[in-house]
Amino acid sequence: MAMKNVNIPKAPKVASTLATIGPIGLYAVFNSLNTVEGWHRAVMFNSIYEVKEKVYTEGTHLMIMA
């Protein structure tokens, strides 16, 4: 059986872009999630704005570094 005439389609550019950006985006989202346990409060700190004035209650919060 000759394999010379087999046409293998190439992946579209969108698929290769998603394959590259997808894992980076997931990593960023999961590292931005902060969980405050029950009966606790939290004050967020980042290197740009120092300590934020908002006090976070229990639950999972998303902190985006801007």
50 within domain boundaries: yes
User: For the chain, what is the domain count?
Assistant: 1
The residue among 55 and 13 whose pLDDT is bigger is 55
Whether 18 is in a domain gets the answer no
pLDDT at 1: 57
Average pLDDT over residues 50-60: 91
Report residue 65's pLDDT band, with 50, 70 and 90 as the boundaries.
low
Residue among 64, 63, 43, 66 at smallest CA distance from 53? 43
Domain that holds residue 66: 33-66
Radius of gyration of the chain (CA): 22
In a domain, 4, yes or no: no
Over range 3-19, report the average pLDDT: 77
Domain presence at residue 61: yes
Please provide the distance, in angstroms rounded to a whole number, between the alpha carbons at the two ends of the chain. 59
- A 10 A CB-CB count for 19 gives 10
Residue 14 lies in a domain: no
Measure Cα distances from 61 to 18, 50, 64, 66 in Å. 26, 18, 10, 15
Whether 13 maps to a domain, the answer reads no
